[in-house]
């Protein structure tokens, strides 16, 4: 920790971007033992963004020893950021001083996962009264204040914005246990009302507040852009910590660890993994995307290996699938090869349910009032679309998996969120909207869906 402090001055008000040593992780590439891994990697990816929910639900059940070990192991390739955060939180805890921090970083850079790890550490679990809120679902100022009141178990004289806000302020200015308030996806509040962000970031400076506030979002400059007044008052200026996109070596390292934690005998050839990591690092450094593509590559390798005449059982039993460079290249080409294949994909590549999901998304984008698409609203629309056609709709969790497949093929981008609130995850269409619309309109069933504006009534 002391070594870290020399490189990252804790008191600094400057933006901090922690870089890795160039040779870090270099030793990992020759030992890619993906043993078992197709199935486990798949499970890992499906649960990837459920990490927070998994951890929250741990409140209700006693973790086993192996759970604890798993949780208490810092995230691979984020050790420095995690150590910095630990130092930040420890100092505030020991001095009982309020403070605020803004964490920025592109999607999939491990911000939520790192915080999830930190929040689980016993010293912070015991030392702080923790409140974690993902702001994606917060529709208004009153909903965020309401939620904080609930989490803090603060009595209010009503559920209006003012009543909740006053109750929180009263609570903060009374003597209370040190609070750690984490607001993830805080940029969702930005568009709602600037004053909400100001009010929240001013809380740590209230007398007796004993509050450490952590805001998390993608933009590097959210605090300068949206909270310029705070910069003018030194006591209110949040510290900032930036999560840089993952480098190729970091992605390889993470992959290797994820897979080594599983216990079977599949294998990525080193060159295949190098290629996958190099491409993701060059495009976005997004680990969520890397894991999704990894899963797709494994599925492809399995399909290639087990020809049509083999049954599923033999596929599960045979753990000797090896992912080779050609499969990685094939998937990367599909994902990043541009929109030239859109029509073919819509026609042949996607199962019906995925087509219905894409259509529902398009319906919302083209006819809906709110262009900010979250999984829950998409599910509501999709369900009506499917039911209206006598097609049994997927369950919510199945639709989340289907969206992951659509993401792996490059059609959509699924943003982060809290696992317990899968409904809160945001979706963005990655393909060109016009081209997709044109492709969808060619199909009578799908073009009919695009005409059904009434399905958006409650979305
Ligand atoms: N260092 C890592 N080791 C293992 N898994 C990781 C690592 N970093 C990210 N991941 C995985 O990648 C996925 C995305 O990570 P996470 O949700 O933390 O990203 P994020 O920065 O919060 O993204 P967003 O801005 O979209 O919310 C998760 O499944 C997470 O478990
Ligand atoms: Mg996140």
Asked whether 209 lines ligand 1 (CB < 6 A), one says no
Among the bound ligands, the one closest to the CA of 289: 1
Beta carbons of 99 and 12 less than 8 angstroms apart: no
Q: 431 CB contacts (<8 Å, ≥6 apart)?
A: 339, 342, 410, 411
| 194 CA to centre of ligand 1 in angstroms | 28
| pLDDT of res. 149 | 93
| pLDDT of res. 26 | 35
Average pLDDT estimate for 433-445: 62
Asked whether 254 lines ligand 1 (CB < 6 A), one says yes
Instruction: Name the residue of 288, 375, 419, 420 whose CB sits within 8 Å of the most ligand 1 atoms, as the mutation to test its pocket.
Output: 288
Q: Is 123 helix (H, G, I), strand (E, B) or coil?
A: helix
Beta carbons of 417 and 425 less than 8 angstroms apart: yes
Among the bound ligands, the one closest to the CA of 25: 1
Cα gap 183→117, rounded to integer Å: 15
Strands 179-184, 129-134: pairing is parallel
Cα gap 85→83, rounded to integer Å: 5
Which range has the top average pLDDT, 81-85, 276-280, 423-427, 455-459?
81-85
Q: What is the signed CA dihedral for 439, 347, 378, 59, rounded to 10 degrees?
A: -140
| 445 CA to centre of ligand 2 in angstroms | 36
Cα gap 192→194, rounded to integer Å: 7
Cα gap 232→353, rounded to integer Å: 52
Cα gap 126→89, rounded to integer Å: 12
| 108 CA to centre of ligand 1 in angstroms | 4
Judged against a pLDDT cut of 60, whether residue 8 lies above it is answered with no
Confidence at 428, pLDDT banded by 50, 70, 90: confident
Provide, for the chain, the percentages of residues in helix, strand and coil under a 3-state DSSP scheme, each rounded to the nearest 5.
60, 10, 30
Beta carbons of 229 and 284 less than 8 angstroms apart: no
Share of the chain above pLDDT 70, in %: 68
Residues, beta carbon < 5 Å, ion ligand 2: 112, 416
| pLDDT of res. 151 | 92
Confidence at 182, pLDDT banded by 50, 70, 90: very high
Confidence at 458, pLDDT banded by 50, 70, 90: low
- Among candidate residues 93, 110, 316, the one with its CA nearest the CA of residue 212: 93
| 115 CA to centre of ligand 2 in angstroms | 9
Instruction: Kindly report the protein residue whose alpha carbon is nearest to atom 28 of ligand 1.
Output: 48
| 110 CA to centre of ligand 2 in angstroms | 7
Task: Choose between 272 and 45: higher pLDDT.
Answer: 272
Confidence at 232, pLDDT banded by 50, 70, 90: low
The packing angle between helices 38-47 and 396-408, to 10°, is 110
| pLDDT of res. 108 | 92
Task: Choose between 29 and 188: higher pLDDT.
Answer: 188
Judged against a pLDDT cut of 60, whether residue 351 lies above it is answered with yes
Asked whether 261 lines ligand 1 (CB < 6 A), one says no
Average pLDDT estimate for 228-242: 74
Cα gap 320→25, rounded to integer Å: 26
Judged against a pLDDT cut of 50, whether residue 143 lies above it is answered with yes
Average pLDDT estimate for 199-209: 86
Tens of pLDDT, residues 253-266:
999 988 888 764 46
Average pLDDT estimate for 314-334: 76
Tens of pLDDT, residues 27-53:
332 222 232 333 334 333 333 332 332
Judged against a pLDDT cut of 90, whether residue 439 lies above it is answered with no
Cα gap 219→49, rounded to integer Å: 20
Task: Choose between 183 and 318: higher pLDDT.
Answer: 183
| pLDDT of res. 212 | 95
Cα gap 246→116, rounded to integer Å: 18
Beta carbons of 76 and 216 less than 8 angstroms apart: no
Strands 239-243, 267-268: pairing is unpaired
| pLDDT of res. 176 | 85
Average pLDDT estimate for 429-442: 66
């Amino acid at each position: 920790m002391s070594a870290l402090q020399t490189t990252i001055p804790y008191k600094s008000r400057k933006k901090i971007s922690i870089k890795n040593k160039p040779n870090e992780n270099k030793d990992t590439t020759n030992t890619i033992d993906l043993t078992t891994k197709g199935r486990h990697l798949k499970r890992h990816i499906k649960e990837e963004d459920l990490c927070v929910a998994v951890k929250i639900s741990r409140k209700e059940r006693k973790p086993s020893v192996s759970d604890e070990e798993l949780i208490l192991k810092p995230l691979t390739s984020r050790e420095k950021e995690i150590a910095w955060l630990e130092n930040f939180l420890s100092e505030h805890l020991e001095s009982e001083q309020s403070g605020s921090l803004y964490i920025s970083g592109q999607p999939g850079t491990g911000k939520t996962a790192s915080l999830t790890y930190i929040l689980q550490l016993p010293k912070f679990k015991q030392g702080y009264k923790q409140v974690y809120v993902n702001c994606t679902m917060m529709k208004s100022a009153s909903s965020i204040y309401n939620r904080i009141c609930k989490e803090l178990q603060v009595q209010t004289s009503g559920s209006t914005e003012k009543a909740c806000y006053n109750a929180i302020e009263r609570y903060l200015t009374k003597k209370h246990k040190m609070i750690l308030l984490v607001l993830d996806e805080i940029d969702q509040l930005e568009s709602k009302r600037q004053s909400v962000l100001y009010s929240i970031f001013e809380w740590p400076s209230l007398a007796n507040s004993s509050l450490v506030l952590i805001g998390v979002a993608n933009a590097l400059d959210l605090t300068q852009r949206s909270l310029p007044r705070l910069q003018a008052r030194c006591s209110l200026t949040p510290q900032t910590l930036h999560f840089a996109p993952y480098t190729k070596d970091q992605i390889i390292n993470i992959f290797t660890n994820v897979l080594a934690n599983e216990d079977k005998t599949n294998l990525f050839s080193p060159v295949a993994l190098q290629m996958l990591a190099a491409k993701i690092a060059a495009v976005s450094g997004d680990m969520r995307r890397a894991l999704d593509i990894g899963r797709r590559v494994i599925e492809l390798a399995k399909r290639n290996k087990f020809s049509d005449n083999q049954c599923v059982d033999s596929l599960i039993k045979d753990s000797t699938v090896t992912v080779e460079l050609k499969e990685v290249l094939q998937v990367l080409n599909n994902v990043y090869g541009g929109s030239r294949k859109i029509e073919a994909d819509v026609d042949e590549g996607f199962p019906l349910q995925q087509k219905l999901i894409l259509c529902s998304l398009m319906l919302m984008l083209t006819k809906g009032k709110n262009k900010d698409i979250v999984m829950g609203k998409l599910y509501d629309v999709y369900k009506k679309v499917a039911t209206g056609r006598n097609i049994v709709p997927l369950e919510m969790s199945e639709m989340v998996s289907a969206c992951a497949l659509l993401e792996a093929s490059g059609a959509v981008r699924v943003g982060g969120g809290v696992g317990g609130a899968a409904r809160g995850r945001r979706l963005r269409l990655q393909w060109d909207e016009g081209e997709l619309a044109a492709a969808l309109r060619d199909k009578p069933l799908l073009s009919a869906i695009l005409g059904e504006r009434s399905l958006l009534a409650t979305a």
